[in-house]
Each structure stands twice: as structure tokens, then as C-alpha cells.
Amino acid sequence: MEEILGIQEIKACPIRYVLAINDTLNVISGKWKLPIIGSILFGKKRFTEIQRNIAKITPRMLSKELKELELNGIVTRNVYDTTPVSVEYELSESGKNIVEVLDKMVDWGLSHRKSIMGENQK
């Protein structure tokens, strides 16, 4: 029943629904966006802290992705006038809410894994 509702929403399929899905995908797809979101999910962090948090990310990628996330309103960049300047990155409200999407993805991912295991045991 719940599934049918979802289907009908997509069935109506106005362009803005497709756009909304794409917006969401753009925020979370790519190799580094999720790790970055994960890293600042429980509080603001500085550039180098995030970098230390995420194994193998290069400063180039971190800088590039943070800029993109900021531009898209997912991350807020706070510059403090200390010497030397310190910069903290934080999730916006929207950024925090994405957790709801991630939770659904975890649910689906886990149940899909289970269903595949079941197949293999047949």
C-alpha cells in the first residue's frame, strides 16, 4: 500500500520530481561527498581535521568538494579572524536532514543484501 503511494507519486512524474531526485543524487554521489558529510555530521570541523578523518583524500579533492557542497547549500563555511585564520565547516539544516535519506538507503541496502543472500542459498 505504502509502495503504491510512492509509485503513484512517481507515476504522475512531473519534471520537478525528477529534478528533486537529481538534486539529491548530486549531493551524495561521487567518491568523497558522503565521507565528508559523515565527518561533519556530529559537529563542525576544520579542513585538516576532515582531511585526517578521511583516509586518502587529497587536499585538492577536499577543497573542491567542500566548495561544491557550500555552493549547494549543504555545508556552511565559517572563517574566524584568528591569527592565523581558522576555518570551520558545518552542515546546514538541509545537510543535516539528508540523514533521513541515508537511513532509507541503509534500510534498502540491507534488505536487498538479505534478499540476494537468500537467492544464493536456494
3-class SS at 12?
A: helix
In this chain, which of 49, 51, 119, 122 binds its own copies, going by CB under 8 A? Answer: 119
Residue 78, contacted partner among its own copies, DNA, none, CB below 5-8 A by kind: none
Under 8 Å between Cβ of 101 and 28: yes
Q: Does the footprint of its own copies cover residue 56 (CB under 8 A)?
A: no
DSSP E strands, 1-122: 45-46, 75-80, 86-91
Q: Does the footprint of DNA cover residue 61 (CB under 7 A)?
A: yes
In this chain, which of 67, 78, 86, 107 binds its own copies, going by CB under 8 A? Answer: 107
